[in-house]
Homo-oligomer: A and B are copies of this chain.
Amino acid sequence: MTSPSSVPDAAAAAADLHALFARLCACGATPAGGVTRLCASPEDGAARAVLAGFLREAGAAIRTDAVGNQFGIFSLAGAAGAPLVMLGSHLDSQPRAGRFDGTYGVAAAAAVGADLMRARRAGAAFDADLCVVNWTNEEGARFRPSLLGSGVYAGHHAAAAALECRDDAGTSLGEALSAIGALGTDAPPPLPACYLELHVEQGTRLEEAGATIGVVARNWGAAKIEVVFTGEQAHTGPTRMGRRRDALVAAAALITAVRALADDWPDRVHTSVGRLLVAPNSANVVPAEAVLSVEIRSGEDDLLAAATARAEAAIAAAAAGAGVAVDVRSRSLRPIRPLPGAVCDLAAACAEAEGLPSLRMDTVAGHDAISLLGLCPTGLIFVPSRDGVAHNEAEFTAEADLEAGLRVALRAAARLCRAGGDPVRALHRAGDPSGDPR
């Protein structure tokens, strides 16, 4: 444990974390104790303002890029062109979501930045700057695809195309960001020497293993398919059944088939249809259109391919069965990839130094860290989610676990900022008191 007078000071960082987290959670708070803070909503705007205020107060320079990604840069190295260590996550949420998803990682990153800035002002020397980031539209709830802001930063999407993504009411991301004053003109910072993200697990592996820190070593793959069935609007009364071309009947067949897929590979393939739009959606009208978002996830390449092929066949079969037309509006594939070993080793070493049991594990969910994978050394650190509850207002992580994750991130960030952002150097200088002062 760190004594209160230590520099960096984990206790001061924890106090910052809890205070900032509470203020962020108030933005879009729901009566049941969760949040609804959809991307680029007024609630998101309020949370962005809270974050920017904290970062500015703590000594960071704020930048907002063309898709609303918020960056707070702490000049720890004191030299132009110093390498960058980046820490962050996202402030947008699902509807009626938990408080921790994304927000914990952003608040912890901001607390780490403030603490290292205090350390620098107290005389500590760093040779990298630290950048706190809040990525736009990680959730993919209001605008699709998910991981949009980090994806633009990583070069996977053009900013102009991202700004044209529309919500179900037809509002574009650009319009929505502009309405909350979050459409920036700043250039984003260059790619960091290392990116770290702290997140709640959203599963039960840590609880089951009795571990406090999850060191994510690999991400599951995910195939996402947006399907549009087009039938024909008709009266549900006199129109003969044989003449109906019911888009919702096709959707139902596909939802059932997609769910059944997962049973062939228990716990190895996850499938879902989370979103379905029906038009005109009136009790007395045969549905003319159904739009579905299908997801297939697996940690095994061959299973992901096999399950996705079966889903594609089910799409065609559902359309044929209901006599409707089908169009696959988009397909995306997030491949299964390892996270860099050096960053994993650094995270595990920091957990060990804090006396915290850690576990190497997969992430099944996508995270902004995955957007940056392959572009720079990227790390993802989990803390336990009680009972694995996620995307639900009852999501919960104990205060002790929030602080444990913060201490690991603070330690890792301090070491990285003393090693030019290089995780290999940061790892090997663990025994060096100047590299790991605590």
Cα(A274)–Cα(B232), bound, Å = 12
A289 to chain B, nearest CB (A): 10
Q: Which one, B201, B220, B224, B252, contacts A255 given CB within 8 A?
A: B252
Q: Does A407 interact with chain B (Cβ within 8 Å)?
A: no
Q: Does A293 interact with chain B (Cβ within 8 Å)?
A: yes
A231 to chain B, nearest CB (A): 11
Cβ–Cβ contact B287 & A274, under 8 A: yes
Cβ–Cβ contact B282 & A238, under 8 A: no
A28 to chain B, nearest CB (A): 13
Cβ–Cβ contact B238 & A94, under 8 A: no
Cα(A272)–Cα(B287), bound, Å = 9
Q: Which one, B235, B240, B270, B274, contacts A281 given CB within 8 A?
A: B274
Cβ–Cβ contact A237 & B256, under 8 A: no
Cβ–Cβ contact A283 & B391, under 8 A: no
Inter-chain contacts of A243 with B (CB < 8 A): 388
Q: Does A172 interact with chain B (Cβ within 8 Å)?
A: no
Cα(A261)–Cα(B155), bound, Å = 51
Interface string of A79-99 (1 = CB under 8 A from B): 000000000000000111000
Given contacts A234-B389, A392-B234, contact A282 B95 (CB under 8 A): yes
Q: Can you tell how many copies of this chain the complex includes?
A: 2
Cβ–Cβ contact B286 & A293, under 8 A: no
Most buried by B among A241, A277, A393: A241
Cα(A355)–Cα(B236), bound, Å = 33
For chain A, give the interface size range. Answer: 35 or more
Cβ–Cβ contact A201 & B238, under 8 A: yes
Cα(A262)–Cα(B263), bound, Å = 29
Inter-chain contacts of A232 with B (CB < 8 A): 392
Cβ–Cβ contact A263 & B241, under 8 A: yes
Cα(A273)–Cα(B253), bound, Å = 13
Chain B minimum-CB-distance residue to A232: B392
Q: Does A344 interact with chain B (Cβ within 8 Å)?
A: no
A15 to chain B, nearest CB (A): 30
Inter-chain contacts of A141 with B (CB < 8 A): 280, 282-285
Q: Does A336 interact with chain B (Cβ within 8 Å)?
A: no
Q: Which one, B203, B236, B366, contacts A295 given CB within 8 A?
A: B236
Cβ–Cβ contact A235 & B390, under 8 A: yes
A282 to chain B, nearest CB (A): 4
Inter-chain contacts of A272 with B (CB < 8 A): 236, 244, 246, 286
Q: Which one, B239, B248, B256, contacts A388 given CB within 8 A?
A: B239
Q: Does A144 interact with chain B (Cβ within 8 Å)?
A: yes
Q: Does A140 interact with chain B (Cβ within 8 Å)?
A: yes
Interface string of A102-143 (1 = CB under 8 A from B): 000000000000000000000000000000000000011100
Given contacts A232-B392, A252-B252, A253-B256, contact A295 B274 (CB under 8 A): no
Known: A237-B297, A246-B259. 18 other contacts (CB 8 A): A95-B279, A140-B284, A141-B280, A141-B284, A141-B285, A144-B283, A203-B238, A238-B365, A238-B390, A239-B270, A249-B259, A251-B252, A251-B255, A252-B252, A252-B273, A274-B284, A274-B285, A283-B295
Chain A residues in the interface with B (C-beta under 8 A): 94-96, 139-141, 144, 146, 201-204, 220, 222, 224, 232-244, 246, 248-249, 251-253, 255-256, 259, 262-263, 266-267, 270-288, 293, 295, 297, 363-366, 388-393
- List 19 interface pairs A-B (beta carbons < 8 Å), by A numbering: A95-B281, A96-B233, A140-B282, A146-B284, A202-B237, A203-B239, A222-B237, A233-B391, A233-B392, A233-B393, A234-B389, A235-B365, A236-B270, A236-B272, A237-B270, A237-B365, A239-B270, A251-B252, A275-B283
In the A-B complex, the 7 residue pairs with the closest CB atoms: A237-B365, A203-B238, A252-B255, A95-B280, A283-B293, A235-B390, A236-B272
